């Protein structure tokens, strides 16, 4: 049986959470017929107890046994059935208790299911470190950046080549050496000229000396193009050196940047792996919690199914016992009701029979008294001689009675059968045909043994006889 949390929660408020309360799944067991059916039968049972006076043997009524006792007019199950119903109620309560449980899954499992992932401090520190490296990478700077920028500034801001002989150190050194050599040559020339002239200077000597000096100077300037080229090459070499140095700095910068990137990549990969490992462990714990919750719900569902099956078995047994006893009681009520109706009907018919006989007897007695009074009056008026004529009427009556025959058993049974089958009219016809038979004896026999049928108007055979 599959359970879910909301269902069990639903209703404890059931089962449920009130978690679904599954209290909605359970229907209270009510053994026996519906309340309306029970009320109908109990009403009929009450009628059976009320239709017969005294609800017991009625003297002279022909009822020879008590009907449904008033105390039993409402059905009461036997002690065994009541115990079975109580046992069913106990099982039902167990089912309801299981259906209203709100904490089927333990709190620790629910906490794990409802948890959110949070990385450890170690993982957060690893990501913080990689973020720092990433920020450094995003600037594009290394320890060589400032040198590169400075050298590039020098290259970009470098003046174009201009040759300034006055500032050419090598040429000026060379010119100075030439001038010194020219001076020496000029002095040697002037000394040689003075020796030729007896030690005296002359214009020739001066001119020759100046020529010698100028020759050295001219020779130095004749080599100026070489110094220009040398200066140009020096300028170019300086530029190349600057570019070479820039290239070296760029290479070092790229190497350092690559190392920084590799460090970031390695640290980020490590942090990501740590994160994934912890996240996977959390997912596994949540999945395990779901599985555990499912097992707990399944186990509870099995307990519920077992409890409900046990309850159903016990309740069905109790209901079967109850229904059997109730059906038996209902049959007894129906039988008692039929018997009560019949007995009550016979009783009242016999009561009518008794009352009408009493009235007939009273009428007969009244007529007898009337006849006696009339006879006395007749004697008083006619017994002049006192010769006993006053007893004439009594003698006639006594003689008439003495002449009546006692009915035979066959005649009385014939009269009884006629009465039972056709009532007073049939009885009157049979008695009327029995000439010279004591009709009162027949009537007494029918009264004691007959069952009333027919109309309520009593035919008075005695009256006819009189």
Lowest-confidence region among 5-9, 172-176, 195-199, 201-205: 5-9
Task: Decide: 4 and 17 in contact? Cβ < 8 Å.
Answer: no
pLDDT at position 372, please? 77
User: What is the C-alpha separation between 333 and 326, in angstroms, rounded?
Assistant: 10
Lowest-confidence region among 153-157, 219-223, 362-366, 377-381: 377-381
pLDDT surpasses 60 at 147: yes
Task: Decide: 63 and 343 in contact? Cβ < 8 Å.
Answer: yes
Lowest-confidence region among 50-64, 72-86, 104-118, 337-351: 50-64
- By the 10 Å C-beta count (0-12 exposed, 13-18 middle, 19+ buried), 119 is classed as middle
Res. 44 pLDDT band, cuts 50 70 90: low
pLDDT in tens, 327-343: 888 887 788 777 766 76
Report the residue count for the chain: 466
**Angle at Cα 457 formed by Cα 455 and Cα 462, nearest 5°?**
125
pLDDT surpasses 70 at 20: no
Residues 6+ apart with CB under 8 A from 410: none
pLDDT in tens, 352-377: 778 777 787 787 778 778 877 776 77
pLDDT surpasses 80 at 421: yes
Structure tokens, 356: 């009408």
Structure tokens, 360: 């007939």
**Angle at Cα 256 formed by Cα 254 and Cα 262, nearest 5°?**
100
**What proportion of the chain, given as a percentage, has pLDDT over 70?**
72
pLDDT at position 21, please? 36
pTM of the predicted protein model: 0.44
Name, of 304-308, 391-395, 398-402, the range with top average pLDDT: 304-308
User: What is the C-alpha separation between 423 and 411, in angstroms, rounded?
Assistant: 16
pLDDT at position 365, please? 78
> How high is the mean pLDDT of the chain?
78
pLDDT surpasses 70 at 381: no
pLDDT surpasses 60 at 219: yes
pLDDT surpasses 80 at 2: no
Lowest-confidence region among 171-180, 327-336, 340-349: 340-349
Overall average pLDDT of the 311-338 stretch: 86
Task: Decide: 200 and 191 in contact? Cβ < 8 Å.
Answer: no
Q: H-helix or E-strand containing 70?
A: none
Task: Decide: 264 and 130 in contact? Cβ < 8 Å.
Answer: yes
User: What is the C-alpha separation between 336 and 68, in angstroms, rounded?
Assistant: 6
Q: H-helix or E-strand containing 20?
A: strand 20-20
Lowest-confidence region among 14-23, 91-100, 297-306, 452-461: 14-23
Overall average pLDDT of the 377-404 stretch: 58
3-state secondary structure of 56: coil
Res. 309 pLDDT band, cuts 50 70 90: very high
Overall average pLDDT of the 417-440 stretch: 86
Overall average pLDDT of the 230-258 stretch: 94
pLDDT at position 3, please? 35
pLDDT surpasses 90 at 462: no
């Amino acid at each position: 049986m599959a359970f879910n949390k909301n269902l069990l929660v639903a209703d404890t408020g059931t089962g449920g959470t009130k978690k679904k309360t599954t209290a909605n799944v359970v229907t209270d067991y009510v053994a026996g017929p519906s309340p309306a059916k029970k009320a109908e039968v109990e009403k009929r049972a009450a009628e059976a107890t009320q239709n017969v006076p005294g609800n017991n043997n009625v003297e002279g009524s022909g009822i020879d046994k008590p009907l449904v006792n008033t105390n039993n007019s409402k059905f009461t199950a036997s002690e065994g059935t009541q115990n079975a119903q109580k046992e069913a109620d106990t099982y039902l309560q167990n089912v309801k208790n299981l259906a209203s449980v709100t904490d089927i899954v333990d709190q620790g499992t629910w906490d794990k299911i409802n948890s959110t992932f949070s990385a450890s401090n170690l993982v957060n520190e690893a990501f913080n470190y990689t973020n720092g490296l990433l920020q450094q990478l995003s600037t594009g700077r290394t320890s060589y950046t400032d040198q590169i920028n400075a050298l590039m500034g020098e290259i970009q801001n470098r003046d174009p080549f201009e040759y300034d002989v006055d500032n050419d150190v090598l040429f000026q050194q060379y010119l100075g050496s030439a001038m010194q050599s020219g001076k020496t040559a000029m002095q040697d020339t002037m000394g040689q000229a003075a020796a030729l002239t007896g030690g005296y200077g002359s214009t020739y000597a001066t001119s020759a000396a100046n020529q010698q000096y100028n020759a050295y100077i001219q020779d130095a300037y004749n080599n100026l193009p070489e110094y220009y080229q040398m200066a140009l090459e020096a300028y170019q070499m300086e530029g190349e050196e600057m570019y070479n140095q820039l290239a070296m700095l760029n290479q070092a910068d790229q190497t350092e940047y690559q190392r920084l990137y590799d460090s970031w990549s390695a640290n980020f990969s490590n942090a990501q792996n740590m994160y994934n490992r912890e996240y996977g462990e959390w997912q596994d714990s949540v999945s395990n919690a779901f599985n555990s919750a499912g097992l707990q719900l399944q186990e509870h569902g099995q307990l519920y199914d077992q409890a409900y099956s046990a309850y159903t078995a016990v309740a069905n047994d109790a209901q079967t016992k109850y229904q059997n006893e109730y059906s038996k009681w209902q049959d007894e009520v129906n039988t008692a009701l039929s018997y009560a109706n019949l007995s009550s009907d016979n009783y009242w018919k016999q009561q009518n029979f008794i009352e009408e006989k009493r009235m007939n007897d009273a009428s007969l007695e009244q007529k007898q008294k009337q006849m006696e009074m009339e006879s006395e009056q007749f004697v008083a008026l006619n017994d002049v001689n006192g010769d006993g004529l006053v007893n004439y009427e009594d003698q006639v009556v006594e003689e008439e009675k003495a002449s009546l025959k006692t009915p035979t058993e066959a005649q009385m049974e014939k009269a009884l059968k006629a009465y039972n089958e056709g009532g007073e009219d049939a009885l009157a016809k049979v008695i009327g045909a029995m000439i010279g038979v004591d009709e009162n004896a027949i009537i007494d026999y029918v009264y004691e043994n007959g069952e009333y049928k027919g109309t309520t108007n009593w035919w008075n055979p005695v009256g006819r006889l009189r």
